[in-house]
Amino acid sequence: MSLIAVVYHSGYGHTQRLAQAVADGADAQLIAIDADGNLPEGGWDTLLAAKAIILGSPTYMAGPSWQFKKFADASSKPWFNQAWKDKLFAGFTNSASPNGDKQITLDYLFHLAMQHGGLWVGAGTLPSNAKAATRSDVNWLGAFSGAMAQSPSDASAAEMFAGDLETGRLLGQRVAAVAARLGG
């Protein structure tokens, strides 16, 4: 099985919980971007060795957190050498509002992957958009380019919606399946 890395920043624990669900689905290694925007020791080496990199950030003020952006800017070193070219990429995000401009964050993650010459893996799940749909359903927010989660501003990470966590798990599972299909 190929190495899959989930690199993410989480400000309040919600995105960390979603990252764990994605990692569980992909059997991936988690790499947390710290509060200062830095990777832990060995993080860059893990990303270099990975067949797939799944990117995650909360959506703050219509985009990823500054900590994630610091990581993205620092990724210019592997970009310069095209070290991540042809790796699989996917992405996920979380915000307090059902829309919250999460699509802008997913677009940012997509464009970062494209800068690196990566191959993007979308969510691959149909939206739960019937009248009977609830927040416990998979992809109840209707995202196609990655996994989205919504965590009310007064809810703890432990109170995240089951459908959002399952959507994240399924994204991770899909990335792992695509990696295996491509010979990883």
Task: Compute the mean pLDDT over every residue in the chain, rounded to the nearest whole number.
Answer: 96
Name the nearest CA neighbour of 122 among 69, 50, 178: 178
Write the pLDDT tens digit of every residue in 128-145: 999 999 999 999 999 999
Q: What percent of the chain has pLDDT over 90?
A: 96
Judging by beta carbons within 10 Å of its beta carbon (0-12, 13-18, 19+), is residue 79 exposed, middle or buried? Answer: middle
pTM for the whole thing?
Answer: 0.97
Amino acid at residue number 157: A
Write the pLDDT tens digit of every residue in 43-98: 999 999 999 999 999 999 999 999 999 999 999 999 999 999 999 999 999 999 98
Mean pLDDT of 22-33: 98
Could you please report the per-residue DSSP string of the chain? ---EEEEEE-SSSHHHHHHHHHHHHHT-EEEEE-TTS-PPTTHHHHHHH-SEEEEEEEEETTEE-HHHHHHHHHTHHHHHTTTTTT-EEEEEEEESSSSTTHHHHHHHHHHHHHHTT-EE---------STT--TTSTTTT--SSSEEEE--TT--GGG--HHHHHHHHHHHHHHHHHHHHTT-
